[in-house]
């Protein structure tokens, strides 16, 4: 039952995110409500998390073409995410983002950009990597941790 609920929750998030994506194309973020911005960044992080797990699975199986496609998708998602932290969304709607995001906006944005760029680097090194797990850790997972440890609440 719990698993089913989590699945439903996940799909609701994906649907919500898809609807919001349409808004991004047709209008600027300024027209989204604060709640929509917080919810859409959370949905996008969740999506990146499930995509990262698929990147890991495909890479481990040696299915690099599929893995690389998803790496590029994650890289693009980070570029959207960087725009989803306007001042008005600090401390709103159960956000787990810490005030440090806004206190150190340049450093936060730099980490997001690094995370995005590292996913592209990953597409160029993964196939020839001797240590797949270690390479994924270096270019993908370590960026999650580096950012969360300073900019996201303990959960
Ligand atoms: C540059 C910073 C940064 C990077 C890089 C980053 N995150 Fe996050 N992440 C955040 C912040 C900030 C939040 C809190 C967002 C909120 O609640 O408004 C968050 C929230 C999340 C959430 C919770 C979403 C929800 O439903 O509330 C998940 C899951 C997550 N991140 C996974 C990841 C994974 C996996 C990676 C790496 C592949 C990653 N993040 C990379 C900053 C980052």
Whole-number Å distance between alpha carbons of 27 and 81: 16
Q: Which residues contact 149 (CB under 8 A, 6 or more apart)?
A: none
The reported pLDDT for the residue numbered 97 is 95
Can you give the length of the chain in residues? 155
Answer whether 54 contacts ligand 1 (Cβ < 6 A).
no
Q: How far is the CA of 150 from the centre of ligand 1 (A)?
A: 11
Token pair of 127 as six digits: 């196939």
Token pair of 90 as six digits: 């600090």
Tens digits of per-residue pLDDT, 89-124? 988 888 999 999 999 999 999 999 999 999 999 999
Of 78, 136, 137, nearest to 108 by C-alpha is 78
- Output the average pLDDT for the chain: 90
Ligand 1 atom 31: residue of nearest CA:
45
């Amino acid at each position: 039952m719990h698993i089913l609920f989590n699945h439903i929750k996940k799909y609701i998030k994906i649907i919500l995110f898809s609807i919001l994506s349409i808004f991004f194309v047709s209008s600027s973020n300024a027209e989204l409500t604060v709640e929509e911005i917080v919810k859409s960044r959370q949905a996008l992080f969740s999506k990146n998390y499930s995509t990262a797990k698929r990147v890991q699975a495909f890479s481990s199986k040696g299915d690099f073409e599929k893995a690389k496609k998803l790496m590029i998708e994650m890289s693009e998602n980070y570029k959207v995410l960087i725009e989803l932290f306007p001042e008005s969304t600090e401390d709103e709607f159960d956000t787990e983002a810490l005030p440090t995001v806004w206190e150190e906006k340049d450093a936060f944005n730099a980490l997001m950009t690094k995370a995005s760029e590292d996913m592209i680097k990953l597409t160029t090194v993964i196939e020839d990597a001797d240590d797949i797990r270690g390479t994924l850790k270096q270019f993908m997972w370590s960026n999650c941790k580096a950012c969360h440890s300073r900019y996201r609440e303990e959960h």
